[in-house]
């Protein structure tokens, strides 16, 4: 089973901000995908995996994270399931 979480990249940009990434974990191996937004460590809540209210665009960024969580990821899982089914059905022909 693949799990995921939102977090900050380990390395900071020149302005001190870190990229917000989604970390995918499967069989103790991980890969990350940048959301192309960034914030500082003080503006990020690791517990809630969201941007804190002290960030000027916290509402926009949190809605963007929710969009990934509730729209993009379920569709990605569904599309991946279809791809597996198509590949398996071709093998069985």
Domain boundaries, the chain: 3-91
Cα 83 to Cα 2, 33, 45, 76, 87: the distances in Å are 16, 21, 35, 10, 6
User: What's the pLDDT tens digit per position in 13-64?
Assistant: 999 999 999 888 878 888 888 889 999 999 999 999 999 999 999 999 999 8
pTM above 0.85, yes or no: no
| In the predicted structure, residue 82 carries a pLDDT above the cut 70 | no
Residue 76: the pLDDT is 62
For 19-47, b/e burial (b = at least 16 CB within 10 A) is bbbbebeeeeeeeeeebebbbeeebbeee
């Amino acid at each position: 089973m693949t799990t995921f979480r939102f977090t900050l990249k380990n390395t900071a940009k020149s302005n001190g901000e870190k990229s917000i990434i989604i970390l995918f974990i499967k069989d103790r191996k991980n890969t990350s995908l940048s959301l192309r937004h960034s914030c500082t460590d003080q503006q990020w809540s690791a517990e809630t995996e969201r941007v804190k209210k002290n960030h000027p665009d916290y509402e926009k960024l949190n809605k963007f994270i929710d969009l990934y969580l509730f729209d993009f990821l379920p569709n990605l899982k569904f599309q991946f399931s279809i791809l597996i089914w198509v590949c398996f059905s071709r093998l069985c022909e």
